[in-house]
Amino acid sequence: MSYVIIGDKVYSSDDIFKGIKKEFEFKEIKDLTAGSKRDDTFVFQITLDAKSIKLEILEEMDAENMEEDELVEELLSSSDEQVMMIEDVIPEGFIGYAYTYKYDNDMELLKSIFVAVDEKLGESKLREIAGRILKSLD
């Protein structure tokens, strides 16, 4: 368990983790907050079931005319959107960023990160922090 400090408030990553597990049905969630070595940043690695997302996409779109590259792009985009919904369970005063960085076709898994920082840091710093975290992941 890690703690994130914003102003004079302290937030537990464990509380946020429990909120995510309660609200969403992700395949797996890992709290990577301690690994960020920052006291103003939450980091969660999210694993999603690519098969169910793919089925949703195929139902919504014309799958017969869709190239494999297009389907993968849609998978990644849809995964980002689903992970970004975590922003609804993080406390006020944070901004979030979601990015899907891995698609394993054989295991039918998508791996994403969700990073949340003090909104005072701004979008630019949030993306910089997320970029550094992504470089350290598998």
Domain extent for 66: 3-136
Query: What is the Cα–Cα distance from 103 to 95, expressed in whole angstroms?
Result: 25
pLDDT at residue number 64: 65
Please provide the average confidence, as pLDDT, over all residues in the chain.
92
Do 137 and 113 contact (CB within 8 A), yes or no? Answer: yes
Reported as a single tens digit per residue, the pLDDT across 59-93 is 887 666 778 888 899 999 999 999 999 999 999 99
In order, the DSSP letters of 58-74 are HHHS-GGG--HHHHHHH
pLDDT at residue number 53: 92
Confidence band for 95, pLDDT divided at 50, 70 and 90: very high
Q: Residue 42's domain is classified under what CATH number?
A: 3.30.70
Higher pLDDT among residues 68 and 22, named by residue: 22
Query: What is the Cα–Cα distance from 110 to 103, expressed in whole angstroms?
Result: 5
Confidence band for 104, pLDDT divided at 50, 70 and 90: very high
pLDDT at residue number 43: 97
Collapsing DSSP to helix, strand or coil, 90 comes out as coil
Q: What is the mean pLDDT of residues 96-124?
A: 95
pLDDT at residue number 138: 59
* Domain count along the chain: 1
Confidence band for 24, pLDDT divided at 50, 70 and 90: very high
pLDDT at residue number 69: 87
Tokens of 22: 């309660």
pTM value is 0.91
